[in-house]
Amino acid sequence: MISRLARILLVFLLALPVAARAETRALVVAASYAGSGNPALALANTAVDGRNVAAALTRAGLRDVRLIEDPDLARWETELEAFAARLAPGDVALLYYAGHAIQVSGRNYFLAGDGTSLIDMERMIPRLSDRARGVFLVIDACRNNPFQRGDSPDVVAAARALPTVSVAELTAAHRGLSQLGDLRGLSVLALFSTDPGNVALDGEPGSGSPFANAFAAELGRRQSLDALVRRVALRVNRETGGEQTPWRQGDLPFDVYLAGMQSFPVP
């Protein structure tokens, strides 16, 4: 005779694969612009941030974590295609980006490691959401526009099927990033290192950014993705004295536990 508690546990375990055991695959991109030839683009902490986050994701139990540093446009394309190809319909795709990003005419772009190529965030999302059950974008890129100093590159390339943006548009780009387009129905959650229109702190050289440090630390907790996002926001706001508040957009219609579910004592 199966006890009532055993039956409850059995029902719980049967439900677990849907909520908690979906494979999460991660692509971590860090752009420091060391080889761009433009000192104005250099970021001291992004390489540290990328390595710390990749290591934290691995410690959390993710089996597919790929770290790339300073990818040019061709490498971005190759890695993004390979990442999408590894995704199965039940997977969650986690893309973490640390580097420069700019807002032009209401659209957000990553700046590739070559310092001259742009990747349109909104056109990148469907390449992942079409393959996976859900997408979690983590964007530590809301830094000041590096092209406002007047030393913009002569040519700005655009990824496949993306529009080319002129140097004049780059120079006039707005402070911080804007919201992404309508994410409804896409099963996409985006976590920005700060709220729209503001810029994120880079931190002391070699110490990591406040956002990346908080995100890596929270990855070690057994908690839901919603709880992780909330705790990261609170932690960054506290540690920056209120100067920076991470912001979320979109949602996933199911639970995700990157480091596993929290354990509770049996009554």
Q: Which CATH number characterizes residue 133's domain?
A: 3.40.50.1460
User: Does 17 map to a domain?
Assistant: no
Those residues of the chain that have pLDDT short of 50 are 1-2, 9-20, 150-178, 264-267
Q: Is the pTM here over 0.75, yes or no?
A: yes
SS3 category, 249: strand
User: Does 256 map to a domain?
Assistant: no
User: Does 4 map to a domain?
Assistant: no
Domain tally, the chain: 1
pLDDT digits 0-9 by tens, 78-135: 999 999 999 999 999 999 999 988 877 777 888 999 988 888 888 888 899 999 999 9
Under DSSP, the state recorded for 122 is: H
Rounded distance between C-alpha atoms, residue 198 and residue 27, angstroms: 25
Domain range for residue 90? 22-250
User: Does 259 map to a domain?
Assistant: no
User: Does 128 map to a domain?
Assistant: yes
Count of alpha carbons within 13 angstroms of residue 179, beta-carbon side: 6
